[in-house]
Structure 1
């Protein structure tokens, strides 16, 4: 019979989200349009619109150029291990936030640098979302037996 410990590790791959890149580019274009249609003088509106559109495209391209990575986590208070092409990073103080189909994971490495990963619905499927929620719910303190209280 296989051990359940091997299946308790949460392993999730991360890749850049096309949906997020499209949203960033769209927000940049909408900001440009709003500046162009505002009551700003043309000498401020046009450069501001070009800057907003350019910044949105820059953010979208930067999002798409990030290298894929993977995360391995036992859950609870345990450290997570972030595997990127430049090596393995141990993350302490891991926090996970789930908002419907969106998920974020953050933790700090040994040098105090914060690492954040955000999953959008096109990169975090239902099975991975469930696995992340289960790992998030694990607390090693809850595995300790409760002491009987005097009646």
Structure 2
């Protein structure tokens, strides 16, 4: 239809602040507890099982604490031709992958440099911001699959 209005410009500005996921922290602690229980439930001699179980429990708690204390960068995805930025620094080779409600972002701080990554869990990225991120990042796979369209 020639005269139909254009409802979306295809991209929008998006500003996101990454924050640690409490769900992930809880899961890390649960994994540490389960590892300790599984070692104690095995037929390993108790002399070795208790130190290994304590280490597994401590490691799970340490990982959860470390996840909670990680830096909190701010991401900006502009709608114009400028590159997206993290804490004001441009990102190169930006790749956004989706796994259901999980969003995984990979980028380089400079061309040919080291890869950095961030992951948003459902408790840190509400549905409205997920949609905003999809639009801002320009999901190139949208509509390419034949099953996405009506017959």
TM-score (norm 1): 0.76
Q: Is residue 79–residue 93 contact of structure 1 (8 Å, CA) maintained in 2?
A: no
Q: CA deviation at 1:45?
A: 1.4
Q: CA deviation at 1:79?
A: 3.4
2:95 match: 95
Distance 1:138 1:33, change over 3 A: closer
1:11 match: 15
Query: Which whole-Å deviations, capped at 9, do the CAs of 1:40-92 have from their partners, x for residues lacking one?
Result: 122221111111111100000011112322111247x9632111xxxx33221
Return the alpha-carbon distance in structure 1 between the equivalents of residues 49 and 97 of structure 2: 38
Q: Is residue 12–residue 135 contact of structure 2 (8 Å, CA) maintained in 1?
A: no
The structure in which a higher percent of residues are strand is 1
Return the alpha-carbon distance in structure 1 between the equivalents of residues 136 and 128 of structure 2: 12
Q: What is the SS of the residue equivalent to 1:15?
A: coil
Return the alpha-carbon distance in structure 2 between the equivalents of residues 11 and 57 of structure 1: 31
Q: What is the SS of the residue equivalent to 2:38?
A: helix
* Candidates 68, 71, 74, aligned match of 1:70: 74
2:28 match: 24
Q: What is the SS of the residue equivalent to 1:8?
A: coil
Question: RMSD between aligned alpha carbons?
Answer: 2.3
TM-score (norm 2): 0.76
Dislocated runs of 4+, deviation >6 Å: none
1:123 match: 124
Q: CA deviation at 1:113?
A: 2.2
Return the alpha-carbon distance in structure 2 between the equivalents of residues 78 and 25 of structure 1: 41
Number of aligned residue pairs: give it.
Answer: 130
Return the alpha-carbon distance in structure 1 between the equivalents of residues 127 and 41 of structure 2: 41
Q: What is the SS of the residue equivalent to 2:95?
A: strand
Q: Is residue 79–residue 90 contact of structure 1 (8 Å, CA) maintained in 2?
A: yes
2:138 match: 137
